[in-house]
């Protein structure tokens, strides 16, 4: 398999979202209607890339913490911030923080509409979650400190999400053959 390249931030989907009527929100974005509000699922947001891993993996095993190889990032803006990790069965993301120069073992960040991105829609909300991430050091791996009280968590999805508007169009993700392993 060759290398597949995807730029974070689907501007065509964002344009469709901004120009959507209620019917489009339900059909194109799988929105749920609650009272007068349409709620867009996390995986349908234009600032999220979601890859089905094809199997349900435990976040940790006797062999170590879940990791994936075959994914690399090019960050074209110093201000771009994103996360890459595994969407777990509890709805949280566990992985790495892309961008910036800080070295840290584990932080919790909110994954919602990217900071600095204004979406001029009334009565539309977006599902959000939290991510537990460590500084990116060349691999996507479940941070060790995030596994307290997480026995039994599983995942079948790799998620890459823009945290700020500068990440959209400025984080290039290159996929080769994905290899899931425990480290």
Calpha distance 64→44 (Å, rounded): 31
- 149 pLDDT tier (thresholds 50, 70, 90): low
- 144 pLDDT tier (thresholds 50, 70, 90): confident
What does the pLDDT read at residue 2? 72
Residue 52 has pLDDT above 70, yes or no: yes
**Of residues 52, 59, 85, 56, the one with CA closest to residue 152:** 59
Calpha distance 42→127 (Å, rounded): 5
Residue 46 has pLDDT above 90, yes or no: yes
Residue 1 has pLDDT above 60, yes or no: no
Tell the residue number behind the tokens 């500084």, with chain if given: 135
Summarised one tens digit per residue, pLDDT across range 102-123 is: 667 788 999 999 999 988 888 9
If DSSP codes are grouped into helix, strand and coil, which group holds residue 116?
A: coil
């Amino acid at each position: 398999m060759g290398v597949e390249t995807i730029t974070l931030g689907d501007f065509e989907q964002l344009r469709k979202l901004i120009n959507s009527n209620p019917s489009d929100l339900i059909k194109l974005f799988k929105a749920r209607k609650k009272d007068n509000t349409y709620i867009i699922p996390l995986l349908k947001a234009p600032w999220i890339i979601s890859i089905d891993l094809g199997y349900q993996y435990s976040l940790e095993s006797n062999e170590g913490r879940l990791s994936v190889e075959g994914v690399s990032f090019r960050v074209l803006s110093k201000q771009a911030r994103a996360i890459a990790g595994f969407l777990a069965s509890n709805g949280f993301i566990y992985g790495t923080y892309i961008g910036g120069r800080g070295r840290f073992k584990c932080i919790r960040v909110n994954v919602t509409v990217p900071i600095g991105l204004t979406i001029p829609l009334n009565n539309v909300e977006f599902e959000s979650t939290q991510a537990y991430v460590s500084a990116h050091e060349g691999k996507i791996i479940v941070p060790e400190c995030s596994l307290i009280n997480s026995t039994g968590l599983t995942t079948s999805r790799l998620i890459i999400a823009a945290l700020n508007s500068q990440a959209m169009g400025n984080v290039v993700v290159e996929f080769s053959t994905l290899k899931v392993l425990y480290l």
